[in-house]
Structure 1
Amino acid sequence: MALGAFLLWVWAVPAKAGDPVTVKVGAYEYGVVYYFEDGSPRGIVPMLIDRLNGLQDTYRFELAETSSRRRYQALMNGELDLILLESAKWDWPAFDVLYSDPIVREKDIYLTLASQRDAKSLFADVSAHPMLCVLGFHYGFADFNADPDYLRENFNVELRYNESEVLNGLLAGEAPIGIVSAGFLARRFASDPRLHERLIIGDKPDATYDLVSVLTRESAIPLDEFNALVARLLAGGDVEELWRQLHAGVSG
Protein backbone atom coordinates (compact mmCIF):
# COMPACT_ATOMS: atom_id res chain seq x y z
CA MET A 1 0.00 0.00 0.00
CA ALA A 2 1.37 3.41 -0.95
CA LEU A 3 2.08 5.80 1.94
CA GLY A 4 -0.59 8.28 0.81
CA ALA A 5 -3.25 5.58 0.55
CA PHE A 6 -2.24 4.19 3.95
CA LEU A 7 -2.61 7.61 5.60
CA LEU A 8 -6.05 8.04 4.03
CA TRP A 9 -7.07 4.60 5.35
CA VAL A 10 -5.86 5.45 8.87
CA TRP A 11 -7.77 8.75 8.78
CA ALA A 12 -10.96 6.98 7.69
CA VAL A 13 -10.95 4.38 10.50
CA PRO A 14 -12.97 5.58 13.55
CA ALA A 15 -10.73 6.40 16.47
CA LYS A 16 -10.90 3.95 19.36
CA ALA A 17 -10.81 6.93 21.72
CA GLY A 18 -14.37 7.67 20.65
CA ASP A 19 -15.71 4.30 21.79
CA PRO A 20 -17.84 4.28 24.96
CA VAL A 21 -15.97 3.65 28.18
CA THR A 22 -17.02 0.32 29.70
CA VAL A 23 -18.34 0.53 33.26
CA LYS A 24 -18.60 -2.86 34.99
CA VAL A 25 -21.64 -2.86 37.25
CA GLY A 26 -21.61 -5.45 40.01
CA ALA A 27 -24.80 -7.15 41.19
CA TYR A 28 -25.61 -10.17 43.34
CA GLU A 29 -28.83 -11.96 44.22
CA TYR A 30 -30.79 -9.77 46.60
CA GLY A 31 -34.51 -8.97 46.84
CA VAL A 32 -35.77 -7.22 43.73
CA VAL A 33 -32.40 -5.57 43.25
CA TYR A 34 -31.15 -8.59 41.31
CA TYR A 35 -32.59 -12.06 40.90
CA PHE A 36 -33.14 -14.78 38.31
CA GLU A 37 -36.40 -15.77 36.67
CA ASP A 38 -36.58 -18.52 34.07
CA GLY A 39 -32.79 -18.51 34.02
CA SER A 40 -32.52 -14.83 33.08
CA PRO A 41 -31.36 -11.88 35.23
CA ARG A 42 -34.17 -9.69 36.52
CA GLY A 43 -34.62 -6.88 38.99
CA ILE A 44 -34.04 -3.17 39.11
CA VAL A 45 -30.30 -3.40 38.37
CA PRO A 46 -30.70 -4.63 34.76
CA MET A 47 -33.45 -2.04 34.29
CA LEU A 48 -31.26 0.77 35.61
CA ILE A 49 -28.38 -0.36 33.40
CA ASP A 50 -30.63 -0.12 30.34
CA ARG A 51 -31.75 3.36 31.37
CA LEU A 52 -28.21 4.55 32.07
CA ASN A 53 -27.10 3.40 28.63
CA GLY A 54 -30.11 5.06 27.06
CA LEU A 55 -29.31 8.43 28.65
CA GLN A 56 -25.89 8.87 27.05
CA ASP A 57 -23.26 7.27 24.83
CA THR A 58 -20.06 8.25 26.66
CA TYR A 59 -20.20 5.19 28.91
CA ARG A 60 -21.38 1.65 28.34
CA PHE A 61 -22.68 0.11 31.57
CA GLU A 62 -22.35 -3.68 31.63
CA LEU A 63 -23.68 -6.16 34.18
CA ALA A 64 -21.03 -8.16 36.05
CA GLU A 65 -22.28 -10.77 38.51
CA THR A 66 -20.63 -11.23 41.88
CA SER A 67 -21.69 -12.63 45.27
CA SER A 68 -22.68 -11.02 48.54
CA ARG A 69 -19.40 -12.08 50.16
CA ARG A 70 -17.07 -11.46 47.18
CA ARG A 71 -18.38 -8.04 46.23
CA TYR A 72 -15.99 -6.07 48.43
CA GLN A 73 -12.82 -7.58 47.03
CA ALA A 74 -14.22 -7.64 43.50
CA LEU A 75 -14.72 -3.88 43.63
CA MET A 76 -11.42 -3.08 45.29
CA ASN A 77 -9.30 -5.20 42.92
CA GLY A 78 -10.82 -3.64 39.81
CA GLU A 79 -13.09 -6.46 38.68
CA LEU A 80 -15.97 -4.00 39.08
CA ASP A 81 -16.27 -0.25 38.66
CA LEU A 82 -19.32 0.17 40.85
CA ILE A 83 -22.00 -1.84 42.61
CA LEU A 84 -25.72 -1.22 42.29
CA LEU A 85 -27.31 -1.08 44.88
CA GLU A 86 -25.73 -0.98 48.36
CA SER A 87 -26.13 0.59 51.78
CA ALA A 88 -23.32 2.69 53.21
CA LYS A 89 -24.18 1.06 56.58
CA TRP A 90 -22.75 -2.26 55.44
CA ASP A 91 -19.03 -3.19 55.47
CA TRP A 92 -18.00 -0.39 53.10
CA PRO A 93 -16.60 2.03 55.75
CA ALA A 94 -13.63 -0.36 56.04
CA PHE A 95 -12.71 0.39 52.41
CA ASP A 96 -11.63 3.49 50.49
CA VAL A 97 -14.81 3.91 48.48
CA LEU A 98 -17.19 6.62 47.29
CA TYR A 99 -20.98 6.67 47.57
CA SER A 100 -23.43 7.97 45.05
CA ASP A 101 -26.51 9.96 45.95
CA PRO A 102 -29.42 7.81 47.24
CA ILE A 103 -31.37 6.01 44.54
CA VAL A 104 -34.09 4.01 46.32
CA ARG A 105 -34.93 2.94 49.87
CA GLU A 106 -35.39 -0.63 51.10
CA LYS A 107 -36.19 -2.37 54.38
CA ASP A 108 -35.67 -5.82 55.86
CA ILE A 109 -38.61 -7.35 57.68
CA TYR A 110 -39.21 -10.02 60.28
CA LEU A 111 -41.49 -12.91 59.38
CA THR A 112 -43.07 -15.72 61.31
CA LEU A 113 -45.72 -18.29 60.55
CA ALA A 114 -49.37 -17.37 61.01
CA SER A 115 -49.65 -20.50 63.16
CA GLN A 116 -47.42 -18.93 65.84
CA ARG A 117 -49.50 -18.52 69.00
CA ASP A 118 -47.92 -15.26 70.15
CA ALA A 119 -46.21 -13.51 67.26
CA LYS A 120 -46.23 -10.18 69.10
CA SER A 121 -44.13 -11.59 71.93
CA LEU A 122 -41.85 -13.30 69.43
CA PHE A 123 -41.11 -10.04 67.60
CA ALA A 124 -40.67 -8.10 70.85
CA ASP A 125 -37.21 -9.67 71.35
CA VAL A 126 -36.08 -11.34 68.15
CA SER A 127 -32.56 -11.93 69.41
CA ALA A 128 -33.92 -14.35 72.02
CA HIS A 129 -35.15 -16.74 69.33
CA PRO A 130 -33.63 -18.73 66.45
CA MET A 131 -33.54 -16.74 63.22
CA LEU A 132 -32.95 -17.59 59.58
CA CYS A 133 -30.70 -15.07 57.80
CA VAL A 134 -28.67 -14.84 54.59
CA LEU A 135 -24.92 -15.42 54.62
CA GLY A 136 -23.15 -12.14 53.82
CA PHE A 137 -26.16 -9.93 54.51
CA HIS A 138 -26.23 -7.21 57.17
CA TYR A 139 -28.90 -6.94 59.85
CA GLY A 140 -29.93 -4.20 62.21
CA PHE A 141 -30.27 -6.54 65.20
CA ALA A 142 -26.52 -7.27 64.88
CA ASP A 143 -25.47 -3.66 64.22
CA PHE A 144 -24.88 -4.63 60.59
CA ASN A 145 -21.99 -6.98 61.41
CA ALA A 146 -22.20 -9.67 58.70
CA ASP A 147 -19.35 -11.83 59.95
CA PRO A 148 -20.83 -15.35 60.18
CA ASP A 149 -18.74 -16.30 63.22
CA TYR A 150 -19.89 -13.18 65.07
CA LEU A 151 -23.52 -13.91 64.23
CA ARG A 152 -23.32 -17.52 65.33
CA GLU A 153 -21.45 -16.72 68.55
CA ASN A 154 -23.72 -13.87 69.64
CA PHE A 155 -27.12 -14.84 68.27
CA ASN A 156 -29.11 -17.96 67.56
CA VAL A 157 -28.72 -17.52 63.80
CA GLU A 158 -28.93 -20.08 61.04
CA LEU A 159 -27.40 -18.84 57.80
CA ARG A 160 -28.71 -19.65 54.34
CA TYR A 161 -27.36 -18.77 50.90
CA ASN A 162 -30.27 -16.62 49.72
CA GLU A 163 -33.64 -15.23 50.72
CA SER A 164 -35.53 -18.08 49.05
CA GLU A 165 -33.80 -20.54 51.39
CA VAL A 166 -34.71 -18.32 54.35
CA LEU A 167 -38.39 -18.24 53.43
CA ASN A 168 -38.52 -21.93 52.58
CA GLY A 169 -36.82 -22.78 55.86
CA LEU A 170 -39.29 -20.66 57.77
CA LEU A 171 -42.22 -22.36 56.07
CA ALA A 172 -40.67 -25.73 56.90
CA GLY A 173 -40.43 -24.82 60.58
CA GLU A 174 -36.64 -24.69 60.76
CA ALA A 175 -36.78 -21.53 62.92
CA PRO A 176 -39.59 -19.31 64.23
CA ILE A 177 -38.25 -16.10 62.63
CA GLY A 178 -36.93 -15.31 59.17
CA ILE A 179 -35.64 -12.01 57.80
CA VAL A 180 -36.12 -11.01 54.16
CA SER A 181 -36.20 -7.76 52.21
CA ALA A 182 -39.56 -6.17 51.49
CA GLY A 183 -38.91 -6.44 47.77
CA PHE A 184 -38.23 -10.16 47.95
CA LEU A 185 -41.43 -10.80 49.91
CA ALA A 186 -43.47 -8.73 47.45
CA ARG A 187 -42.12 -10.85 44.60
CA ARG A 188 -43.03 -14.07 46.41
CA PHE A 189 -46.51 -12.76 47.24
CA ALA A 190 -47.01 -11.95 43.56
CA SER A 191 -46.05 -15.49 42.51
CA ASP A 192 -47.98 -17.19 45.33
CA PRO A 193 -50.79 -15.04 46.84
CA ARG A 194 -51.61 -17.84 49.30
CA LEU A 195 -48.46 -16.94 51.24
CA HIS A 196 -50.35 -13.95 52.69
CA GLU A 197 -52.36 -16.36 54.81
CA ARG A 198 -49.33 -18.32 56.01
CA LEU A 199 -47.14 -15.45 57.22
CA ILE A 200 -47.16 -12.65 59.78
CA ILE A 201 -44.96 -9.59 59.19
CA GLY A 202 -43.40 -7.87 62.19
CA ASP A 203 -44.72 -4.40 63.05
CA LYS A 204 -41.20 -2.95 63.01
CA PRO A 205 -38.54 -3.67 60.37
CA ASP A 206 -35.11 -5.02 61.20
CA ALA A 207 -33.66 -2.06 59.31
CA THR A 208 -34.59 0.63 56.78
CA TYR A 209 -31.84 2.06 54.59
CA ASP A 210 -31.06 4.09 51.48
CA LEU A 211 -29.55 2.17 48.61
CA VAL A 212 -26.73 3.95 46.80
CA SER A 213 -24.03 2.90 44.39
CA VAL A 214 -20.50 2.26 45.64
CA LEU A 215 -17.52 3.28 43.49
CA THR A 216 -13.77 3.21 43.93
CA ARG A 217 -11.61 6.23 43.21
CA GLU A 218 -10.31 4.35 40.15
CA SER A 219 -13.75 3.58 38.72
CA ALA A 220 -14.17 4.11 35.02
CA ILE A 221 -16.79 6.81 35.65
CA PRO A 222 -16.10 9.68 38.08
CA LEU A 223 -18.52 10.07 40.98
CA ASP A 224 -19.75 13.50 39.91
CA GLU A 225 -20.61 12.24 36.42
CA PHE A 226 -22.39 9.19 37.83
CA ASN A 227 -24.37 11.36 40.25
CA ALA A 228 -25.41 13.57 37.36
CA LEU A 229 -26.78 10.49 35.59
CA VAL A 230 -28.54 9.36 38.77
CA ALA A 231 -30.19 12.79 39.03
CA ARG A 232 -31.43 12.46 35.46
CA LEU A 233 -32.73 8.96 36.18
CA LEU A 234 -34.67 10.12 39.22
CA ALA A 235 -35.97 13.36 37.75
CA GLY A 236 -38.71 11.74 35.70
CA GLY A 237 -40.08 9.73 38.62
CA ASP A 238 -40.18 6.46 36.68
CA VAL A 239 -37.50 4.82 38.87
CA GLU A 240 -39.54 5.57 41.99
CA GLU A 241 -42.66 4.22 40.31
CA LEU A 242 -40.81 1.10 39.16
CA TRP A 243 -39.54 0.50 42.69
CA ARG A 244 -43.06 0.94 44.05
CA GLN A 245 -44.40 -1.61 41.55
CA LEU A 246 -41.69 -4.09 42.56
CA HIS A 247 -42.95 -3.74 46.15
CA ALA A 248 -46.64 -4.08 45.41
CA GLY A 249 -48.39 -5.72 48.34
CA VAL A 250 -45.54 -4.95 50.78
CA SER A 251 -44.57 -1.40 51.66
CA GLY A 252 -40.93 -0.74 50.77
Structure 2
Amino acid sequence: MKSLPDRTAAGLMLAALAALWVLPAQAVQVVRVGAAHFPPYTIRPENGADTGLLPELVEALNHSQSDYRFELVPTSIPRRFGDFKEGRTDMAIFENPDWGWKDIPHTTVDMGLEDAEIFVAQKEPGRQQNYFADLKGKRLALYSGYHYEFANFNADPKYLAETYNATLTYSHDSNLLMVLRGRADIALVTRSYLFDYLLRNEKVRDELLVSQRIDQIYHHYAILSPKAPITGEAFGKLLQGLRDNGQMLKIFDPYKIAVVPVPRP
Protein backbone atom coordinates (compact mmCIF):
# COMPACT_ATOMS: atom_id res chain seq x y z
CA MET A 1 0.00 0.00 0.00
CA LYS A 2 1.35 3.42 -0.98
CA SER A 3 2.19 5.86 1.76
CA LEU A 4 0.38 9.22 1.93
CA PRO A 5 3.38 11.13 0.45
CA ASP A 6 3.50 8.63 -2.43
CA ARG A 7 -0.22 9.04 -3.13
CA THR A 8 0.14 12.82 -2.94
CA ALA A 9 3.05 12.82 -5.38
CA ALA A 10 1.16 10.54 -7.77
CA GLY A 11 -1.90 12.80 -7.53
CA LEU A 12 0.15 15.89 -8.27
CA MET A 13 1.74 14.21 -11.28
CA LEU A 14 -1.65 13.23 -12.66
CA ALA A 15 -2.92 16.76 -12.14
CA ALA A 16 0.12 18.16 -13.93
CA LEU A 17 -0.39 15.79 -16.86
CA ALA A 18 -4.07 16.73 -17.04
CA ALA A 19 -3.14 20.40 -17.06
CA LEU A 20 -0.69 19.83 -19.90
CA TRP A 21 -3.41 18.00 -21.82
CA VAL A 22 -5.97 20.80 -21.35
CA LEU A 23 -3.72 23.85 -21.79
CA PRO A 24 -3.33 23.77 -25.58
CA ALA A 25 -7.10 23.81 -26.06
CA GLN A 26 -7.50 26.66 -23.57
CA ALA A 27 -4.69 28.65 -25.19
CA VAL A 28 -6.40 28.90 -28.59
CA GLN A 29 -7.34 32.53 -29.27
CA VAL A 30 -10.54 33.13 -31.25
CA VAL A 31 -10.21 35.89 -33.87
CA ARG A 32 -13.54 37.16 -35.23
CA VAL A 33 -13.30 38.18 -38.87
CA GLY A 34 -15.99 40.41 -40.37
CA ALA A 35 -17.60 38.83 -43.44
CA ALA A 36 -19.48 41.30 -45.66
CA HIS A 37 -21.02 40.37 -49.01
CA PHE A 38 -18.25 41.31 -51.46
CA PRO A 39 -18.13 38.76 -54.30
CA PRO A 40 -16.07 36.83 -55.12
CA TYR A 41 -14.34 37.41 -51.78
CA THR A 42 -17.40 36.78 -49.61
CA ILE A 43 -20.78 35.62 -50.88
CA ARG A 44 -23.92 36.08 -48.77
CA PRO A 45 -22.33 35.20 -45.40
CA GLU A 46 -25.61 36.03 -43.62
CA ASN A 47 -27.11 32.92 -45.25
CA GLY A 48 -24.53 30.73 -43.54
CA ALA A 49 -22.97 29.60 -46.82
CA ASP A 50 -19.21 29.28 -46.55
CA THR A 51 -18.55 30.32 -50.13
CA GLY A 52 -16.06 32.79 -51.50
CA LEU A 53 -12.37 33.48 -51.09
CA LEU A 54 -12.57 34.68 -47.48
CA PRO A 55 -13.83 31.31 -46.15
CA GLU A 56 -11.07 29.59 -48.16
CA LEU A 57 -8.44 31.88 -46.64
CA VAL A 58 -9.81 31.39 -43.12
CA GLU A 59 -9.77 27.61 -43.57
CA ALA A 60 -6.15 27.76 -44.73
CA LEU A 61 -5.20 29.97 -41.75
CA ASN A 62 -6.85 27.57 -39.31
CA HIS A 63 -5.17 24.52 -40.83
CA SER A 64 -1.74 26.13 -40.83
CA GLN A 65 -1.43 26.64 -37.06
CA SER A 66 -3.10 25.92 -33.71
CA ASP A 67 -2.60 29.13 -31.71
CA TYR A 68 -5.57 30.97 -33.22
CA ARG A 69 -8.96 29.99 -34.54
CA PHE A 70 -10.36 32.42 -37.11
CA GLU A 71 -14.15 32.61 -37.21
CA LEU A 72 -16.38 34.48 -39.66
CA VAL A 73 -18.91 36.96 -38.29
CA PRO A 74 -21.54 38.08 -40.84
CA THR A 75 -21.73 41.85 -41.31
CA SER A 76 -22.38 44.19 -44.26
CA ILE A 77 -20.45 46.79 -46.27
CA PRO A 78 -22.05 49.76 -44.40
CA ARG A 79 -22.27 48.02 -41.00
CA ARG A 80 -18.72 46.68 -40.87
CA PHE A 81 -17.30 49.88 -39.35
CA GLY A 82 -19.72 49.86 -36.41
CA ASP A 83 -19.20 46.14 -35.78
CA PHE A 84 -15.44 46.75 -35.72
CA LYS A 85 -15.60 49.79 -33.40
CA GLU A 86 -18.02 48.08 -31.00
CA GLY A 87 -15.88 44.95 -30.73
CA ARG A 88 -18.17 42.50 -32.51
CA THR A 89 -15.32 41.81 -34.94
CA ASP A 90 -11.56 41.82 -34.39
CA MET A 91 -10.49 42.07 -37.99
CA ALA A 92 -11.60 43.15 -41.46
CA ILE A 93 -9.90 41.48 -44.43
CA PHE A 94 -9.61 42.60 -48.09
CA GLU A 95 -9.80 46.22 -46.99
CA ASN A 96 -7.94 49.45 -47.65
CA PRO A 97 -7.25 52.18 -45.07
CA ASP A 98 -8.70 54.74 -47.54
CA TRP A 99 -12.13 53.09 -47.48
CA GLY A 100 -13.47 54.89 -44.42
CA TRP A 101 -11.01 53.59 -41.79
CA LYS A 102 -8.90 56.72 -41.26
CA ASP A 103 -10.70 57.88 -38.10
CA ILE A 104 -10.98 54.39 -36.57
CA PRO A 105 -8.04 53.13 -34.46
CA HIS A 106 -6.53 50.09 -36.16
CA THR A 107 -3.40 48.27 -37.26
CA THR A 108 -2.86 47.65 -40.97
CA VAL A 109 -1.32 44.48 -42.41
CA ASP A 110 -0.33 44.34 -46.08
CA MET A 111 -1.83 41.15 -47.54
CA GLY A 112 0.20 41.30 -50.75
CA LEU A 113 -2.90 40.92 -52.93
CA GLU A 114 -3.99 43.14 -55.80
CA ASP A 115 -7.26 43.33 -57.70
CA ALA A 116 -8.62 46.14 -59.87
CA GLU A 117 -11.84 48.06 -60.49
CA ILE A 118 -12.63 48.28 -64.19
CA PHE A 119 -15.30 49.81 -66.43
CA VAL A 120 -17.65 47.69 -68.54
CA ALA A 121 -20.01 48.85 -71.31
CA GLN A 122 -22.11 47.22 -73.97
CA LYS A 123 -20.39 46.60 -77.27
CA GLU A 124 -21.71 48.74 -80.09
CA PRO A 125 -20.44 49.39 -83.65
CA GLY A 126 -17.69 51.97 -83.54
CA ARG A 127 -17.45 52.06 -79.74
CA GLN A 128 -13.79 51.99 -78.69
CA GLN A 129 -11.71 52.38 -75.54
CA ASN A 130 -12.05 56.17 -75.64
CA TYR A 131 -15.68 55.67 -74.58
CA PHE A 132 -14.42 55.22 -71.02
CA ALA A 133 -12.27 58.36 -71.00
CA ASP A 134 -15.06 60.74 -69.98
CA LEU A 135 -17.87 59.71 -67.61
CA LYS A 136 -19.87 62.93 -68.01
CA GLY A 137 -23.37 62.40 -69.33
CA LYS A 138 -23.18 58.63 -68.92
CA ARG A 139 -25.42 56.54 -66.68
CA LEU A 140 -23.33 54.59 -64.19
CA ALA A 141 -24.20 51.38 -62.36
CA LEU A 142 -22.25 51.21 -59.09
CA TYR A 143 -22.11 48.96 -56.05
CA SER A 144 -23.58 50.63 -52.97
CA GLY A 145 -20.99 51.28 -50.26
CA TYR A 146 -17.95 50.96 -52.53
CA HIS A 147 -15.35 53.71 -52.58
CA TYR A 148 -14.40 54.65 -56.17
CA GLU A 149 -11.29 56.59 -57.09
CA PHE A 150 -13.02 58.55 -59.88
CA ALA A 151 -15.35 59.92 -57.17
CA ASN A 152 -12.47 60.72 -54.78
CA PHE A 153 -13.54 57.73 -52.65
CA ASN A 154 -16.80 59.47 -51.65
CA ALA A 155 -19.28 56.63 -51.18
CA ASP A 156 -22.28 58.81 -50.28
CA PRO A 157 -25.22 57.54 -52.41
CA LYS A 158 -26.75 61.00 -52.84
CA TYR A 159 -23.45 62.47 -54.01
CA LEU A 160 -22.89 59.66 -56.52
CA ALA A 161 -26.45 59.85 -57.84
CA GLU A 162 -26.41 63.63 -58.27
CA THR A 163 -22.83 64.05 -59.49
CA TYR A 164 -22.42 60.96 -61.68
CA ASN A 165 -25.98 59.97 -62.60
CA ALA A 166 -25.35 56.72 -60.73
CA THR A 167 -27.71 53.91 -59.83
CA LEU A 168 -26.49 51.97 -56.80
CA THR A 169 -27.28 48.32 -56.14
CA TYR A 170 -25.96 45.51 -53.96
CA SER A 171 -25.22 43.20 -56.89
CA HIS A 172 -22.54 43.22 -59.58
CA ASP A 173 -24.78 40.86 -61.57
CA SER A 174 -27.58 43.44 -61.50
CA ASN A 175 -25.21 46.19 -62.62
CA LEU A 176 -23.93 44.15 -65.55
CA LEU A 177 -27.49 43.24 -66.54
CA MET A 178 -28.37 46.95 -66.50
CA VAL A 179 -25.60 47.50 -69.04
CA LEU A 180 -26.64 44.54 -71.19
CA ARG A 181 -30.27 45.73 -71.21
CA GLY A 182 -29.40 49.34 -71.96
CA ARG A 183 -30.52 50.72 -68.59
CA ALA A 184 -27.00 51.89 -67.76
CA ASP A 185 -24.09 52.94 -69.96
CA ILE A 186 -21.20 51.82 -67.77
CA ALA A 187 -20.85 49.48 -64.79
CA LEU A 188 -17.82 49.33 -62.53
CA VAL A 189 -16.87 45.87 -61.32
CA THR A 190 -13.85 44.24 -59.77
CA ARG A 191 -11.65 42.38 -62.25
CA SER A 192 -11.89 39.20 -60.17
CA TYR A 193 -15.68 39.34 -60.22
CA LEU A 194 -15.88 40.01 -63.95
CA PHE A 195 -13.58 37.06 -64.66
CA ASP A 196 -15.83 34.80 -62.57
CA TYR A 197 -19.00 36.25 -64.15
CA LEU A 198 -17.79 35.59 -67.69
CA LEU A 199 -16.93 32.02 -66.78
CA ARG A 200 -20.53 31.59 -65.59
CA ASN A 201 -22.08 33.53 -68.48
CA GLU A 202 -19.97 32.80 -71.55
CA LYS A 203 -22.82 33.73 -73.92
CA VAL A 204 -22.54 37.43 -73.03
CA ARG A 205 -18.75 37.62 -73.36
CA ASP A 206 -18.97 39.07 -76.87
CA GLU A 207 -21.63 41.59 -75.81
CA LEU A 208 -19.43 43.44 -73.33
CA LEU A 209 -16.65 45.96 -73.90
CA VAL A 210 -14.15 45.84 -71.04
CA SER A 211 -12.05 48.92 -70.35
CA GLN A 212 -8.31 49.07 -70.42
CA ARG A 213 -8.80 52.03 -68.10
CA ILE A 214 -8.60 51.04 -64.44
CA ASP A 215 -10.45 53.08 -61.84
CA GLN A 216 -8.18 51.86 -59.07
CA ILE A 217 -5.89 49.05 -58.05
CA TYR A 218 -7.21 47.27 -54.99
CA HIS A 219 -4.17 46.59 -52.84
CA HIS A 220 -5.69 44.54 -50.08
CA TYR A 221 -4.94 44.96 -46.39
CA ALA A 222 -6.15 43.43 -43.17
CA ILE A 223 -7.48 45.92 -40.61
CA LEU A 224 -6.93 44.77 -37.02
CA SER A 225 -8.56 46.17 -33.90
CA PRO A 226 -6.20 47.37 -31.13
CA LYS A 227 -8.03 44.86 -28.89
CA ALA A 228 -7.70 41.93 -31.31
CA PRO A 229 -6.24 38.75 -29.78
CA ILE A 230 -3.65 38.63 -32.56
CA THR A 231 -1.09 41.31 -33.37
CA GLY A 232 -0.44 42.69 -36.81
CA GLU A 233 3.04 41.19 -36.77
CA ALA A 234 1.74 37.73 -35.87
CA PHE A 235 -0.96 37.86 -38.55
CA GLY A 236 1.58 39.00 -41.12
CA LYS A 237 3.71 35.95 -40.29
CA LEU A 238 0.73 33.64 -40.78
CA LEU A 239 0.05 35.15 -44.20
CA GLN A 240 3.72 34.82 -45.11
CA GLY A 241 3.53 31.14 -44.21
CA LEU A 242 0.64 30.70 -46.66
CA ARG A 243 2.64 32.53 -49.30
CA ASP A 244 5.67 30.33 -48.72
CA ASN A 245 3.70 27.07 -48.97
CA GLY A 246 1.80 28.16 -52.09
CA GLN A 247 -1.65 28.39 -50.49
CA MET A 248 -2.12 32.09 -51.31
CA LEU A 249 -1.42 31.47 -55.00
CA LYS A 250 -3.70 28.41 -55.02
CA ILE A 251 -6.62 30.42 -53.56
CA PHE A 252 -6.32 33.70 -55.47
CA ASP A 253 -4.64 33.04 -58.82
CA PRO A 254 -7.72 31.38 -60.40
CA TYR A 255 -9.56 34.72 -59.98
CA LYS A 256 -6.73 36.78 -61.51
CA ILE A 257 -5.99 38.35 -58.14
CA ALA A 258 -2.28 39.06 -58.14
CA VAL A 259 -0.14 37.75 -55.30
CA VAL A 260 2.56 40.39 -55.08
CA PRO A 261 5.72 40.66 -52.95
CA VAL A 262 5.40 41.99 -49.41
CA PRO A 263 8.50 43.54 -47.80
CA ARG A 264 9.64 41.30 -44.96
CA PRO A 265 10.00 43.11 -41.62
Report TM bin, short chain: 0.7 to 0.9
Matched, 1:33 2:41: yes
Stretch moving more, 52-61 or 160-169: 160-169
What is the aligned partner in structure 2 of residue 225 from structure 1? 234
What is the aligned partner in structure 1 of residue 104 from structure 2? 95
Q: Structure 2: how far apart are the matches of 1:115 and 1:36? A: 34
Matched, 1:63 2:105: no
SS at match of 2:69: strand
Pick the aligned partner of 2:166 from 148, 157, 161: 157
What is the aligned partner in structure 2 of residue 135 from structure 1? 144
Q: Structure 2: how far apart are the matches of 1:243 and 1:159? A: 27
Stretch moving more, 238-247 or 123-132: 238-247
**Change in CA separation of 1:9 and 1:73 when aligned onto 2, cut-off 3 Å:** farther
Pick the aligned partner of 1:172 from 175, 181, 184: 181
Q: Structure 1: how far apart are the matches of 2:15 and 2:78? A: 47
Q: Structure 2: how far apart are the matches of 1:74 and 1:152? A: 27
Q: Percent identity?
A: 26
Q: Structure 1: how far apart are the matches of 2:88 and 2:75? A: 9
Question: Do the aligned partners of 1:86 and 1:214 also contact (CA within 8 Å) in 2?
Answer: yes
Q: Structure 2: how far apart are the matches of 1:53 and 1:166? A: 35
Q: Structure 1: which 5+ runs fail to align?
A: none
* 1:102, distance to aligned residue in structure 2 (A): 2.7
Q: Structure 2: how far apart are the matches of 1:10 and 1:64? A: 37
Across the aligned residues of Structure 1 and Structure 2, the Cα RMSD in angstroms comes to 2.7
Aligned residues: 246
What is the aligned partner in structure 2 of residue 238 from structure 1? 247
Question: Do the aligned partners of 1:33 and 1:43 also contact (CA within 8 Å) in 2?
Answer: yes
Counterpart code for 1:28: A
**Change in CA separation of 1:194 and 1:153 when aligned onto 2, cut-off 3 Å:** same
* 1:231, distance to aligned residue in structure 2 (A): 1.3
Question: Do the aligned partners of 2:90 and 2:224 also contact (CA within 8 Å) in 1?
Answer: yes
What is the aligned partner in structure 2 of residue 198 from structure 1? 207
Which one has the largest radius of gyration? Answer: 2
Q: Structure 2: how far apart are the matches of 1:17 and 1:57? A: 9
Q: Deviations over 1:151-190 (max 9, x none)?
A: 1232211101121221122222211100111111111111
What is the aligned partner in structure 1 of residue 116 from structure 2? 107
Runs of 4+ in 1 over 2 A off after TM superposition: 6-19, 36-41, 115-122
